[in-house]
Amino acid sequence: MATIEQCITALEGVLGGLASKPAAQGLDRSLSCRLPDLGQVLRGRLAGGTVRDLHAEDDGPGGPKADIRLTMSSDDLVALTDGQLSFAPAWASGRVKLEAGLRDMLRLRALL
């Protein structure tokens, strides 16, 4: 099981790469990554070509609903950044869950 610090670094790496792509210009969306094995949710904002205000919170009912929501294990998050796991097969197999509105899904598809 990865630590929360490793997960924050991994998510910053994954999202930072996406945020810097030309297709992400003008994107300003809240995001969350739920890590059930750690009982934590990472929350932040994807805006201005960067990831901002990324922080960990205890996972629980309630809380703000992010525009873009990911759910995966901490090990899968780290594996995504290490290149040991590809997003599309992980999503197709259910290891990674992605929830977002239709417009965000179409935009994310262009980024992935």
How confident is the model over 1-57, as pLDDT tens digits?
A: 889 999 999 888 877 777 777 767 777 889 999 999 999 999 999 887 788 889 999
d(CA 36, CA 22): 32
pTM: 0.86
pLDDT at 109 over 70: no
- pLDDT score recorded for residue 12: 87
Which token pair is 88? 């599309």
Burial class (CB in 10 A: 0-12, 13-18, 19+), 88: exposed
- pLDDT score recorded for residue 14: 78
d(CA 73, CA 87): 13
Q: How many helices (H) and strands (E) does the chain have?
A: 4, 5
Report the residue count for the chain: 112
Which CATH superfamily groups domain 4-111?
SCP2 sterol-binding domain (3.30.1050.10)
- pLDDT score recorded for residue 110: 57
